[in-house]
Chains A and B, each alone.
Chain A
Amino acid sequence: MTLRFLSGGLTGGRLVMLALLLASAILVPLLNLALPESHPLHVPTYAVTLMGKYLTYALLALALDLVWGYCGILSLGHAAFFALGGYAMGMYLMRQIGSRGVYGDPVLPDFMVFLNWDELPWYWYGFDAFSFAMLVALVAPAILAFVFGWFAFRSRVTGVYLSIITQAMTYALLLAFFRNDMGFGGNNGLTDFKDILGFDIQSDATRAGLFAASALALAAGLVLAVAITASKLGKVLIAVRDAESRTRFLGYRVEHYKLFVWTVSAMMAGLAGALYVPQVGIINPGEFAPANSIEAVIWVAVGGRGTLVGPIIGAVLVNFAKSWFTAALPEFWLFALGGLFVFVTLFLPTGIVGLARTATQRLRRMRKSEPDARNTGGSVTTEPRGQAAE
């Protein structure tokens, strides 16, 4: 069923990306764990963790592409869903510390002891179970997205106004999570994690395992996104993006479609956040910062909006550049990021993947025009947005 489902969309670059992700889920841990450090092909643990972090960013970018690239909803608040997923994982990891905290309380995390709290707040119940925490990492962003989307899409808030209220949403959460009374560690957030599922969170093997989990989650996210966009629902989404009112006159309830894809996307972002936290070792309210959401938009724009593979490439490339810049020229990173966004908007409106498509199309046309001078149907598609999966 799923295979037939995918037949339309899983082509070319997407298949390559899927293969790459699955291969790296096996190879990278292997090269890290099985080879001695002196071996030239050995992948150091810090690199494994860094790449694992990039892959969770890539999953966030993929989630954003689903709503922005395919349905035209420019979210400037997707980091909120990412951070909520991260907090759910963080709460599980806090409970795993047990009595090994600084204050040695068997139940209460350190920050609660510090605040003189006597007992665990009710909303921390259940987080000692991994499966429950993972469920919340998906459901909490989904509920927020559903409620937010229900009101926003039903009132037909679109375009820049919607972008602004998504930004307000993440900013409100930022302020809320800063408060100590919220019970999420306030300014400091949740940190000092010890282990996950009984494995030492600092060990090489756990790090490799988290990398593999991130690669597999991204692969699964890609398959899901391809299945959605290749279905008839995906075509309705593109119709909404390009001519919303026309779609309505065809009898489609546009707000239901937006709500569906918005909620699915929020869950993907939540999963990304849950995988991000154990790899970086901390979650704090800074993850809700509006700038984080805007950065995610840049990853998607750089890679190529509405291409699914592009945002993955964009997220990895931009974050690789960020890692390099913040080490070598820290004060110039924000200028470079801003410059990149201006450059892509002006000269690369379809991103890296769009550029590659235009180039291959031009090449193919040149090759075709040699044997027969016939026009190969239609005009030059300078904007291969959406469908045309090469």
Chain B
Amino acid sequence: MAKAETLLYLDGVSVSFDGFKALNNLSFLIGRNEMRAIIGPNGAGKTTMMDVITGKTRPDEGELRFDGKIDLTAHDEAEIAGFGIGRKFQKPTVFENQSVRDNLMLALKALRGPFATLFHRDDDAERSRIDTLLATIRLTARRDDLAGDLSHGQKQWLEIGMLLAQDPELLLIDEPAAGMTDAETAATADLLREISKTHSVVVVEHDMAFVRALGVKVTVLHEGSVLAEGSLDHVSNDRRVIDVYLGR
């Protein structure tokens, strides 16, 4: 069962930049409809791991498989996004000069070629899908405002909304709670739990209260490889984890 239900598979992945090993023999599995939190000190390789999965960086060695058969190392960003891997960046990156609605429209699952978009016409299905997304991310009232005018927390939500619009199988989410108020953080945790019922989610986060609120299995990265894995209580009692990360 475990084998068939694995969505993302990393085995022995290594990446180095000018001799610095950003990822060192990294291996882990993400199951279908599983949510996983990834924690670790700065420089542990969390962002590089996302770069490797989404095709931004090519690994020097190791195996990366998605959905059993797709070799992610052989594809670029746009193709990997097409397979169903969506990514939210640490620093919220939305299209600042376009409206909230247009941001979602651009992310919406649809044909991605230039001629498809040139002759694209929006229909009722698309409009209602965008309305639903706007309600989910609580930005209905700001649909026609420029995304650049949103607050930091609202941009984070818009970016999560754009991820949902893509309807990917796997969501990679980098520090979703950064810069959010406590209430927003709690709401974000609720939203992610809801999403993980039908999607696989990998969340990179520093905020321990947030990770606890998610209540999922945790992987601790250190110096580019997995240091410990298990429930948050399990890893936070691990001596090595306390030494390199939590204790400091």
Contact = CB atoms under 8 A, between A and B. Distances in A.
Interface of A: 4, 228, 231-233, 235-236, 238-239, 242-243, 245-254, 256-257, 260, 377-379, 381, 383, 385-387
Interface in B125-184: 145-146, 149, 162, 166
Contacts of B89: 246
27 contacts: A228-B118, A231-B117, A232-B105, A232-B118, A233-B114, A235-B102, A235-B106, A236-B114, A238-B95, A239-B106, A242-B97, A243-B96, A246-B89, A246-B93, A246-B94, A248-B78, A248-B81, A249-B86, A249-B87, A252-B78, A256-B114, A378-B145, A379-B149, A381-B146, A386-B97, A387-B99, A387-B102
Contacts of A246: 89, 93-95
B109 to A, nearest CB: 9
Nearest to A260: B114
Query: Closest 7 A-B residue pairs measured CB to CB?
Result: A251-B81, A232-B120, A233-B117, A248-B77, A232-B117, A233-B118, A378-B149
Contacts of A242: 95-98
A236 to B, nearest CB: 6
Nearest to A255: B78
Contacts of B118: 228, 231-233, 260
Nearest to A228: B118
Classify the interface of chain A: helix, strand, loop or mixed: helix
B119 to A, nearest CB: 7
Interface in B12-43: none
Q: Which of A232, A242, A249, A381 has the most CB of B within 10 A?
A: A249
Q: Which of B82, B99, B117, B119 has the most CB of A within 10 A?
A: B117
Contacts of B94: 243, 246
Q: Which of A251, A252, A254 has the most CB of B within 10 A?
A: A251
B197 interface: no
A385 B158 CA distance: 21
B112 interface: yes
B73 interface: no
Contacts of A243: 93-96
Interface of B: 54, 56, 76-78, 81-82, 86-87, 89, 93-99, 102, 105-107, 112-114, 117-121, 145-146, 149, 162, 166
Given A239-B98, A248-B77, A386-B97, 14 more contacts: A228-B118, A231-B119, A232-B105, A232-B117, A249-B77, A249-B86, A249-B87, A250-B81, A250-B107, A250-B162, A250-B166, A251-B78, A260-B114, A377-B145
B70 to A, nearest CB: 15
A4 B93 CA distance: 32
Contacts of A378: 145-146, 149
Contacts of B105: 232, 235
Contacts of B117: 231-233, 235-236
Contacts of B99: 387
A257 B149 CA distance: 27
A239 B102 CA distance: 10
Nearest to A1: B119
Contacts of A254: 78
Q: Which of B76, B105, B106, B149 has the most CB of A within 10 A?
A: B106
Contacts of B162: 250
A260 B118 CA distance: 10
Contacts of A379: 149
Contact of B97 (A231, A233, A252, A385): A385
Contacts of B145: 377-378
B239 to A, nearest CB: 38
B112 A253 contact: yes
Nearest to B85: A249
A260 B114 CA distance: 7
A235 B99 CA distance: 10
A252 B105 CA distance: 13
Contacts of B149: 378-379, 381
Nearest to B145: A378
A253 B116 CA distance: 12
Contacts of A245: 56, 77
A239 B103 CA distance: 9
A256 B113 contact: yes
A279 to B, nearest CB: 32
Contact of B112 (A228, A231, A252, A260): A252
Contacts of B146: 378, 381
